[in-house]
Structure 1
Amino acid sequence: MRPVHFAAARRTPLGKLRGALSSVRPDDLAATVIRGLVAEVPALDPARVDDVYWGAANQAGEDNRNVARMAALLAGLPETVPGATVNRLCASGLEAVTTSARTIAAGEADIVVAGGSESMSRAPFVLPRPDEALPHRIETADTRLGWRLVNPAMKDLHGLLSMGETAEEVAERYSVPRERQDEFALRSHQRAAEARKNGHFDDELLPVRRPDGVLVDSDECIREDTSYEKLSRLKPVFRQGGTVTAGNASPMNDGAAALLLVSEEALNELGLESLGRYVAGASAGVHPDVMGIGPVPATRKVLARADWTIGDIQEAEFNEAFAAQALACVDQLGIDPDLVNPSGGAIALGHPLGCSGARILTTLLHRMRRTGAQRGLATMCVGVGQGSAVLVERH
């Protein structure tokens, strides 16, 4: 198998629900970051891009009908460059990266754009087609998050807990108390605020010009003024007497991220710097009721695949869907908590579903370059009971 390198990685700022980026279509978010990524590599003739693999979790609205191809054309890539959209829900962006890396490693491509996008602000309501001409009742479904138009057999099998209820399940089964969750959430905001203040996101951020001409150049959800006292006063959202609140869960967001993956031959030919080498990727399944623990088997699988141990990891990005699940994963994997999300995570920055896997990997690669770390892990939980993980290495 051929070595695969990351030659560039960029992301948009992450906007809050109905916030700064809500007027930007998801295909335009994707096109903006693809265009900016390719422009960052002047030595690259865009016609040499072999494919675009793009993650999108919703695909019910403006990101329908293969947003990868739409975004590639909107970005100005030649019509000869194909595109395919992949969907592993929250890990869609990470899945796009692993698909791209495996394609290059197999010798079927040399240069691939991978990434993901999501506009949760613009996610539509959907209306199922009725079986009758004049139905008595039609129910709409909000496509932003969670189950929709579910097969009754799936409900009989698994009960269809909401995402927040699955976090409560993880908190209970893995003994993660409310106090730890709020402390973790506070630390996420503090670390993200400090990282922004110190310019640690500057190399990864690509500003977005809205239709009204306003330039959005900063993440919107970081709360510099939050405190443990404020977080501890919030009421549980999903269960009476529960522990999961709006403060220790990730928000809903808009954003996009893209990475340029190249073979070692293309890297050397074009004279590009390697941000890091793709080592391995893996996904694993768990019971949907505890989907938040998915990173544990996925990480163990990918470490075994690379013949690494958790002690080899020097930098780690865990997507913080919920503080409860992130902490449970840290505990179960036995990783040093100080290595996890030193620039903050999704609780502070946001979790635009299809974008998030590409976002955490982008943040990880830029931080490893800054700190000199050699081995890194990006991992995340996935709705309906999965986890995904990717290992990267720098020399």
Structure 2
Amino acid sequence: GRFDSQIIPLEVPIFDEEGKRTEESITFSRDEIPRDTSLDALAELKPVAREDGVHTAGTSSQIADGAAAVLLMTAAKAEELGVKPLARVVDAQLVGCDPVLMLEGPIPATEKMLEKTELKISDIDVFEVNEAFASVVLSWAKTVGADMAKVNPNGGAISLGHPLGATGCFLTTKAVHELQRNDGEYGLIAMCCGGGLGTGTIIQKI
């Protein structure tokens, strides 16, 4: 599958009925996500928080367990260690936004990065925007003019889960590997954060 090159399987020991560890183990590479559902079931879900709200359990990400890692270093250090980089960081931004409307953080982060790098939204080959809620990605794409065919092409947090502390590295990993797969050049990663913050990073495949 699309994630085979990104997943590091774990060897998990098997315990007997008494809770004692056995000599056997299994290779664990997939969690309980994605959940089974249907369009009919999603359509029946009621909004949360308020009756006229837009967020439902079906348009909200799942808090999930997970871990991700990104090895980050200077070009000089990579050369010294003999490490072949997959991508370079072109720009990164941390912005403040309305703490009540904190979900809009990816919008100013994206706008600042494009302005600073003089790249156009059409120059980006893959977007990984954290899908805390479906409205985050839809509002962001509408405002910045992103091609939705390039946005979260292998699924967002609604389908894959949102392991809070790991999500940033998870999105970066997905963008790096998707650039390799589709032979793209630039990837853009953006997230909303609690407290009225937004972050963004533009990477370039090497």
Which amino acid letter does the alignment assign opposite residue 347 of structure 1? Answer: I
Gaps of 5+ in 2: 15-24
* Distance in structure 2 (CA, Å) of the matches to 1:306 and 1:208: 39
Q: Which residue of 2 aligns with 1:188?
A: none
Q: Which residue of 2 aligns with 1:356?
A: 167
* Distance in structure 2 (CA, Å) of the matches to 1:355 and 1:211: 24
Q: Which residue of 2 aligns with 1:236?
A: 47
Secondary structure (helix, strand or coil) at the match of 1:230 reads helix
Residue 214 of structure 1 and its aligned partner are, at CA, apart by 4.9
* Distance in structure 1 (CA, Å) of the matches to 2:176 and 2:188: 10
Which protein is bigger by CA-based radius of gyration?
1
Residue 292 in structure 1 maps to residue 103 in structure 2: yes
Secondary structure (helix, strand or coil) at the match of 1:229 reads helix
Which amino acid letter does the alignment assign opposite residue 156 of structure 2? Answer: G
Which amino acid letter does the alignment assign opposite residue 178 of structure 2? Answer: R
Gaps of 5+ in 1: 1-198
Q: Which residue of 1 aligns with 2:145?
A: 334
Residue 285 of structure 1 and its aligned partner are, at CA, apart by 1.1
Q: Which residue of 2 aligns with 1:216?
A: 28
Q: Which residue of 1 aligns with 2:176?
A: 365
Residue 211 of structure 1 and its aligned partner are, at CA, apart by 6.4
Residue 226 of structure 1 and its aligned partner are, at CA, apart by 2.6
TM-score normalized with structure 1 length: 0.47
Secondary structure (helix, strand or coil) at the match of 1:265 reads helix
1:68-110 Cα shifts (integer Å, max 9, x gaps): xxxxxxxxxxxxxxxxxxxxxxxxxxxxxxxxxxxxxxxxxxx
1:75-114 superposed matches below 5 A: none
Which amino acid letter does the alignment assign opposite residue 140 of structure 2? Answer: C
Secondary structure (helix, strand or coil) at the match of 2:100 reads helix
Residue 204 in structure 1 maps to residue 6 in structure 2: yes
* Distance in structure 2 (CA, Å) of the matches to 1:261 and 1:284: 22
1:114-143 Cα shifts (integer Å, max 9, x gaps): xxxxxxxxxxxxxxxxxxxxxxxxxxxxxx
TM-score normalized with structure 2 length: 0.89
Residue 252 in structure 1 maps to residue 54 in structure 2: no
Secondary structure (helix, strand or coil) at the match of 2:59 reads coil
Of 116, 120, 132, the match for 1:305: 116
Residue 321 in structure 1 maps to residue 108 in structure 2: no
* Distance in structure 2 (CA, Å) of the matches to 1:216 and 1:247: 27
Kindly indicate whether the alpha-carbon contact (under 8 Å) linking 1:290 and 1:385 is maintained by their aligned counterparts in 2.
yes
Residue 265 of structure 1 and its aligned partner are, at CA, apart by 2.5
* Distance in structure 2 (CA, Å) of the matches to 1:249 and 1:210: 30
1:128-181 Cα shifts (integer Å, max 9, x gaps): xxxxxxxxxxxxxxxxxxxxxxxxxxxxxxxxxxxxxxxxxxxxxxxxxxxxxx
Count of residue correspondences? 196
Which amino acid letter does the alignment assign opposite residue 206 of structure 1? Answer: I
* Distance in structure 1 (CA, Å) of the matches to 2:52 and 2:10: 41
RMSD: 1.6
* Distance in structure 2 (CA, Å) of the matches to 1:210 and 1:305: 46
1:51-200 superposed matches below 5 A: 199-200=1-2
Residue 216 of structure 1 and its aligned partner are, at CA, apart by 2.4
Which amino acid letter does the alignment assign opposite residue 144 of structure 2? Answer: L
Runs of 4+ residues deviating >6 angstroms: none
Kindly indicate whether the alpha-carbon contact (under 8 Å) linking 1:280 and 1:306 is maintained by their aligned counterparts in 2.
yes
Of 40, 61, 83, the match for 1:272: 83
